[in-house]
Amino acid sequence: MPKEEIIRVVVVDDHDLFRVGLVSMLSAHPDIAVVGQASRGEMGVRLVEELSPHVVLMDQRMPDVDGPEATRAILARRPMTRVLALTVLSGDGDVAAAMQAGAVGFLAKDGPIDDVAVAVRAAARGVSWLSPRAAELVLGRVRRSEVEPGSNHGPLEPLSPRELEVLRLLARGMENTAIATTLEISPRTAKNHVSSILRKLGVPGRIQAAVYAVRHGLD
């Protein structure tokens, strides 16, 4: 979507207090417009069809239609819509179910509220986004599925020694601030290293870079 376009969002969550608070927080951002909200999955699917949002925040556990099922229904009708899964994490099965349904990101309800706006912007650009806890679960699944980490993958020569250090920390689920503290560099420098790594590896986001690192045995 064009950078100057307002991001249209629909929020689907059966917890009224949480949903209203989330809508209020997102509405405070001038580049985000909450165009609709629903307390049930079926209602959410109908709203998305009527309102054509760019991004949907979808609770994963609802009494009528659960999040993954609602996500599939939405994407069957509007494949360009970006769905962000939203729930209290209990295990990597939650993340896997959301991703298999077609969600582009996963947000933990007990995570930092500021992450929501960041994730919405990333999703609108077509970039995957996972909360640190969700990333940890995804990377854990990748580690268990890799019989021989580091085999059958391309070289890492394009990365500098410092970028390799940053990539290792990314694979541990660290955010830029934690990376900066660990390496005794500024957060801005850490951010620049991450941007360079994404560009050199040709991956769209941090989680893809972290998975790349795990598959190269850098964690």
pLDDT greater at residue 155 or residue 33: 33
User: Please, which contacts does 203-209 make with residues 24 or more away whose CB atoms are closer than 8 Å?
Assistant: 204/126, 204/127, 204/128, 205/122, 205/127, 205/128, 205/129, 206/135, 206/170, 207/128, 207/129, 207/130, 207/135, 207/138, 208/128, 209/167, 209/170
Mean pLDDT value across the chain:
83
Residues 13 and 80 in one domain: yes
Residue 99's CATH number: 3.40.50.2300
Range of the structural domain that residue 128 is part of: 7-139
The angle subtended at Cα 185 by Cα 218 and Cα 191, nearest 5°, is 70
The count of structural domains within the chain is: 2
Residues 95 and 192 in one domain: no
Residues 42 and 115 in one domain: yes
For 24-79, what is each residue's pLDDT tens digit?
999 999 999 999 999 999 999 999 999 999 999 999 888 888 999 999 999 999 99
Q: pLDDT at position 153, please?
A: 47
Residue 204's CATH number: 1.10.10.10
For 84-98, what is each residue's pLDDT tens digit?
998 876 566 677 788
Residue where a domain stops, chosen among 84, 111, 139: 139
Q: pLDDT at position 4, please?
A: 65
Residues 98 and 165 in one domain: no
Residue where a domain stops, chosen among 116, 139, 162: 139
CA–CA distance from 2 to each of 50, 60, 121, 125 (Å)?
Answer: 22, 29, 12, 9
Q: Is the pLDDT of residue 195 over 80?
A: yes
Residues 179 and 129 in one domain: no
For 100-113, what is each residue's pLDDT tens digit?
788 888 888 877 77
Residues 133 and 197 in one domain: no
- Residue 144 is assigned to a structural domain of this protein: no
> Which residue carries 């582009």 as its tokens?
104
